[in-house]
Chain A
Amino acid sequence: GNSVTQMEGPVTLSEEAFLTINCTYTATGYPSLFWYVQYPGEGLQLLLKATKADDKGSNKGFEATYRKETTSFHLEKGSVQVSDSAVYFCASGSRLTFGEGTQLTVNP
Chain B
Amino acid sequence: GQQVMQIPQYQHVQEGEDFTTYCNSSTTLSNIQWYKQRPGGHPVFLIQLVKSGEVKKQKRLTFQFGEAKKNSSLHITATQTTDVGTYFCAGSINKFYFGSGTKLNVKP
> Do A and B bind?
no
